[in-house]
């Protein structure tokens, strides 16, 4: 497992305290995520949830809140309608079966209030601007003074998770952590722009079929 402290994170400190991922976004793990995300194979939630639970477990000892709040990165309602579900939320729900007594899982607290353009090909500064204002906290009282763990299926640059953390802190969260099933690294053995475009095309097919 990694702590998410890449070069980008050192140069542009994210809003979350720490990010942990179960494994690298490639090979079988990438295939399993694709089965859920693009083909709607929901039984994949069970093993992915178990993996996410292991990543979350690394963060629990550092959470000051005795029972931290677990939130999934939300989809905009249009994207959720097209896909039929939020994969991050589905995996998070599966993860709670392994961590039931140690955290509180909630939905509808963190809202994506506007759609964003694709992050593919954008600089880090452009990614940050693209995500700015995309999220809001619907019930600030649910996060005030709490330790919050935000989860997603894959983390690439951490821009989305960092923006979620920023909004949660502005709403009163004491600490915000990030946990994902996989971490995508740009390099010889990792998905790059070409693969990201391939995934965008798969998403477009899903949307067009609705």
pLDDT > 70 fraction of the chain, expressed in percent and rounded: 77
pLDDT digits (tens, 9 = 90+) for 7-32: 555 556 788 999 999 999 999 999 99
pLDDT digits (tens, 9 = 90+) for 144-176: 999 999 999 999 888 899 999 999 999 999 999
3-class DSSP state for residue 105?
A: strand
Q: State the residue for tokens 């939130």.
A: 71
pLDDT of residue 205: 43
Token duo for residue 119 = 């992050």
How many other C-beta atoms are found inside a 10 Å radius of the C-beta of residue 39? Answer: 11
> pTM of the full predicted structure?
0.82
Residues 6+ apart with CB under 8 A from 49: 91, 92, 93, 94, 95, 96, 97, 98
Identify the CA nearest to 81 among candidates 204, 208, 210: 210
Q: Which of the two residues, 14 and 116, has the higher pLDDT score?
A: 14
Say if CB 106 and CB 142 are below 8 A apart.
Answer: yes
pLDDT of residue 133: 78
- What is the pairing mode between strands 135-137 and 110-112? antiparallel
Instruction: Provide the residue ranges of all domains of the chain, joining segments of one domain with +.
Output: 7-209
Residue 162 phi/psi, 5-degree rounding, is: -65, -40
pLDDT digits (tens, 9 = 90+) for 117-142: 666 666 667 776 777 778 999 999 99
3-class DSSP state for residue 107?
A: coil
Give the dihedral sign, CA 147/176/88/6: negative
Which class is 7-209 in CATH?
alpha beta
pLDDT digits (tens, 9 = 90+) for 61-108: 988 877 899 999 999 888 889 899 999 999 999 999 999 778 999 999
pLDDT of residue 74: 94
How many other C-beta atoms are found inside a 10 Å radius of the C-beta of residue 209? Answer: 7
pLDDT digits (tens, 9 = 90+) for 185-196: 864 333 444 344
* Pairwise CA distance, residues 66 & 104, whole Å: 10
């Amino acid at each position: 497992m990694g702590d998410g402290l890449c070069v980008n994170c050192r140069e542009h400190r994210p809003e979350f305290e720490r990010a942990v991922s179960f494994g690298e976004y490639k090979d079988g793990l990438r295939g399993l995520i694709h089965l859920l995300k693009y083909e709607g194979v929901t039984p994949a939630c069970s093993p992915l949830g178990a993996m996410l639970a292991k990543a979350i477990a690394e963060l629990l000892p550092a959470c000051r809140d005795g029972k931290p709040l677990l939130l999934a990165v939300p989809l905009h309602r249009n994207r959720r309608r097209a896909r039929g579900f939020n994969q991050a939320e589905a995996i998070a729900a599966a993860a709670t079966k392994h961590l039931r007594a140690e955290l509180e899982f909630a939905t509808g607290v963190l809202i994506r209030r506007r759609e964003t353009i694709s992050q593919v090909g954008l600089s880090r500064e452009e990614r940050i601007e693209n995500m700015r204002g995309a999220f809001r906290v619907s019930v600030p009282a649910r996060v005030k003074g709490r330790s919050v763990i935000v989860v997603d299926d894959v983390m690439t640059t951490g821009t989305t998770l960092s923006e979620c953390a920023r909004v949660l802190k502005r709403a009163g969260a004491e600490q915000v952590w990030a946990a994902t099933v996989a971490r995508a690294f740009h390099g010889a053995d990792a998905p790059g722009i070409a693969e990201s475009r391939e995934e965008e095309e798969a998403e477009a097919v899903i949307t067009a079929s609705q």
